[in-house]
A and B are shown apart, each in its own frame.
Chain A
Amino acid sequence: MNEIRLTCPPRLDKESGSELFKRLRHEKVTEGQTLVLDFSETEFLDSLGGARLIEISDHLRRWGGQMRLENEHGDVAEFLKVITPALSVTSSIQPKEVEVLEKIGGTAITVGEEIWQFIDLCIDAIYWTVLGPLEGKGFRWGMLLDEMHEMGVRAIGIVCMMNFLLGLIIAMLSAKQVENYGVQILVADAMMIGFARELAAVMTAVVVAARTGAAIAAELATMKVQEEIDALRGMGLNVAQFLVAPKLLSMVLMLPCLWVLGLITSLSGGFVWGVFVLKFNFSVWYTETLNAAHFQDLLQGFLKTIAFAIAIALIGCHNGLRVTGGSRGVGLMTTRAVVMDIFVMICIDIVFATIFYYILG
C-alpha cells in the first residue's frame, strides 16, 4: 500500500496534533509513500496545531515520504493555505556539521584574505600620502588641518593628564622600593629612562588608540554602511586618497607632538613626587633627570611613536572599511580596531626592544 490515511481530529491543536504525530510514527513510513491527511472532521486549527503539521511534514520528508491534505474546508482551509509555504520548505534549523580541518582551512583563508587587504590598504595609503602629493596628484590639505585639530589639539588634555598621573604613580612606587637603600635620587634617572624609552610612548599611544583609533574606525564604518564610501568610489574618487591619506599624515604628525607633551608631563609627575614628597632640592632632581637623558633612549621612543601612529591610523581605517551589516557591524569593527591597535603596539614594542638591545647592543 502506497498511501497511509489518517483522519485529523475535530480540534487540531498542540495536544491533538501530538497524538496525530504519534499515530503516524506507529505506521512505518517508507520511501515514496504518501500520507493523506483527511480534514473532513476538522473545524478548528490553531497555530500550534499548524506547527505539528509542519513537524509531521518534516518527519515524512526525512523518510522520503510525502503529504497530501484532503477535504479541508472553511477557516481551516484558509489557515492551511497560509502555512503551506512552511510545509514545503525543508527545515534548515539543524546546524551544518563542519569538519575541523575545513574550519581551520576556512579561518586560514579568511586571515590570509584580511592580511592581503591590509597590505593593499597600506600600499595605497602610503602612496597617496607620500608619492601622490609629490607627483602633484592632490592631497586634501583642508581635511588634514581638521584632522590635526581633532586628533592632536583636542587630545592634549587627556594625554597630559594620563601621563602625569602615570609619572606620579611610578615615582611613588619606585621610591618605596629603593627607600631602604637610600638611593631615592635614582628614581629621577629611572623615570627619565623608563618614560623616554617606553612608558610615555605606550601611554600616549594607548590613549590615542582608544580615542582616535576608535573614532576613525567608527567614522569609516558608518560611512560605508550609509553608502557614502560607495558614493565616493562611484564618483571615481580614491578612498585611500580622499579619506585614509589625510588621517594617516595627521596621525604621523600629531602623535609625536603628543608624545613630547606626554614625556614632559610624566616627568613632571615624578618631579612633583620627588620635590614635594621626597623633599629633594629642585635643582638636584632637575639635573639628575637631565643627566639621565640619552639620545638613544629618546630616539627609540620617538621612532616607536611613529610606528604606533602608522599602526593606529591604518588599523582604524582597515577595520572601518571592512564593516558588513548595519549598526552592529560598526560597533564590532570599532572594538576590533582598538583591540588590534593594542595588540599590534605590543608587537611593535617587542620588535623595537629586540632591535635596540640585542642587535644594536
Chain B
Amino acid sequence: MNTKDNHTIIEVRDLVTHYGETQILDHVSLAVPRGTVYVIIGGSGCGKTTLLKHMCGLLKPSSGQILYQGEDIVPMEEDDLAKMQRSIGIAFQTSGLLNSMTVGDNVALPLREYGNMDEPLIQAVVRMKLGLVGLADMAHLMPDELSGGMRKRAGLARAIALDPPLVYFDEPSAGLDPIMACGLDELILDLRRMLGITFVIVTHELDSIRKIADRILMLDRGTVIFDGTMEDVERTETERVRQFFERRPDEYIVQRTI
C-alpha cells in the first residue's frame, strides 16, 4: 500500500495496546478517508476512547503503527508530536474544557499559543467559532455555568479553533436531549461541508449514525468486527453488528451444556 496515499488522512495498522497487564486493543487496523465522517461504535468499555487517544498520540501503543498524513506518529519525539497534535482537533468525552478559564479563553487558548495573531483578531475568531456552534454570546461564561450540551459544543469550538483538517469527537451526543443531539449532527455535517474537516466520531446514537456516518467501524472487546458503509451494515451477517443496529439486548443464549 502507498503510504503517501493522499486519499487517507489517518491510518492505524495492527494496533495492540495495554493498560498495565490488561490488553485493551488487539490488532486494530483502520483507514480514514479524507473528508468523511468516520464513526466508531461499540459497547461501553470496549476501547473506543483508548483508540482515539492513541490516534492523537496521547498514549503510546505496545505495538503497531499510526500513520497521520503518511507519517508514523508512534516513534515521534515530543516536539514533532506536539506539532502534529496542533493540526488535529480533539473534543473529549467530558469536554476537556479548562475549568479555570472562561469559555472564550478556552477557545482562544490554541490561538494564543500557536495562531500568531493579535488580540482583536483572536477575539474575532473566538466569536466566530463560538457562533458556529451556537454559543456566540457565551464567551464570558465559565465552563461550569454551561449545560452539558453547551459544554460539548464549546469543546468542539475549541477543537476547530485552528481550522484543523481532522477532528476527533468522543461521544458528542451522550447525555444530550434529542433536539440538541440532532443540532449537533447538523453542525458536524455543516462543518465538514464548509470547512472540509474530516471527523472521527465515537457515538452510540443510532439515529445520528444513520444521518452522519460515511463509514462505520465497530469494536468488540478490543477487536474490529466490522468496517464498512451504512449500506454494508444493512447487508452484514455479523450477529453483533445487527444486534447493535436493531437495538436487541444481549440474549442469554442458552448453553445447554455449561
- Contact surface of A with B, Cβ cutoff 8 Å: 34, 57, 66-69, 80-82, 84-85, 87-88, 138, 223, 226-228, 230-238
What residues of chain A lie closer than 8 Å to B99, measured between beta carbons? 223, 226, 228
Fill in one digit per residue for B45-58: 1 if any A CB lies within 8 Å of its CB, else 0. Answer: 00000000100101
What residues of chain B lie closer than 8 Å to A234, measured between beta carbons? 56, 58, 85, 88, 90, 92, 96
A235 and B110 contact, Cβ closer than 8 Å, known pairs A68-B258, A69-B256, A84-B255: yes
Asked whether A34 lies within 8 Å of B98 as measured between CB atoms, the reply is no
What residues of chain B lie closer than 8 Å to A226, measured between beta carbons? 94, 96, 99
Fill in one digit per residue for B91-133: 1 if any A CB lies within 8 Å of its CB, else 0. Answer: 0111111110000000001100110000000000000000000
Residue of A nearest to B78 (CB): A238
Asked whether B113 lies within 8 Å of A237 as measured between CB atoms, the reply is yes
Q: How far is the CB of B74 from chain A (nearest CB, A)?
A: 16
Give Cα distance in the complex from A88 to B96, angstroms. Answer: 40
Residue of B nearest to A53 (CB): B258
What residues of chain A lie closer than 8 Å to B113, measured between beta carbons? 138, 235, 237
Asked whether A235 lies within 8 Å of B109 as measured between CB atoms, the reply is yes
Residue of B nearest to A233 (CB): B58
Q: How far is the CB of B96 from chain A (nearest CB, A)?
A: 3
One of B85, B90, B252 near A82 (C-beta < 8 A): B252
Asked whether B256 lies within 8 Å of A68 as measured between CB atoms, the reply is yes
Give Cα distance in the complex from A82 to B256, angstroms. Answer: 13
Q: How far is the CB of A102 from chain B (nearest CB, A)?
A: 13
Residue of A nearest to B252 (CB): A81
Q: What would 12 more interface pairs be, CB under 8 Å, given A69-B256, A84-B255, A88-B258? A: A67-B257, A67-B258, A68-B257, A81-B252, A81-B254, A82-B252, A88-B255, A226-B94, A227-B93, A230-B90, A231-B90, A237-B82
Q: How far is the CB of B195 from chain A (nearest CB, A)?
A: 18
Asked whether B97 lies within 8 Å of A230 as measured between CB atoms, the reply is no
Asked whether A236 lies within 8 Å of B85 as measured between CB atoms, the reply is yes
Residue of B nearest to A66 (CB): B257
Give Cα distance in the complex from A75 to B6, angstroms. Answer: 60
Residue of B nearest to A61 (CB): B258
Asked whether B98 lies within 8 Å of A233 as measured between CB atoms, the reply is no
A236 and B114 contact, Cβ closer than 8 Å, known pairs A82-B252, A223-B98, A228-B97: yes
Q: How far is the CB of B171 from chain A (nearest CB, A)?
A: 12
Q: How far is the CB of B168 from chain A (nearest CB, A)?
A: 8
Give Cα distance in the complex from A231 to B158, angstroms. Answer: 10
Q: Is B27 interfacial (CB-CB < 8 Å)? A: no
Give Cα distance in the complex from A231 to B92, angstroms. Answer: 7
Q: How far is the CB of A265 from chain B (nearest CB, A)?
A: 32
CB-contacts of B35-77 with A (<8 A): 53, 56, 58
What residues of chain B lie closer than 8 Å to A66, measured between beta carbons? 257-258
What residues of chain A lie closer than 8 Å to B255, measured between beta carbons? 84, 88
What residues of chain B lie closer than 8 Å to A34, measured between beta carbons? 257
Q: How far is the CB of B115 from chain A (nearest CB, A)?
A: 12
What residues of chain B lie closer than 8 Å to A88, measured between beta carbons? 255, 258
In order of increasing CB-CB distance, the 6 nearest A-B pairs are A231-B96, A236-B82, A236-B85, A81-B252, A234-B90, A227-B96
Give Cα distance in the complex from A235 to B98, angstroms. Answer: 12
A84 and B258 contact, Cβ closer than 8 Å, known pairs A226-B99, A230-B53, A231-B97: yes
Q: Is B86 interfacial (CB-CB < 8 Å)? A: yes
Give Cα distance in the complex from A80 to B90, angstroms. Answer: 45
Asked whether B258 lies within 8 Å of A236 as measured between CB atoms, the reply is no
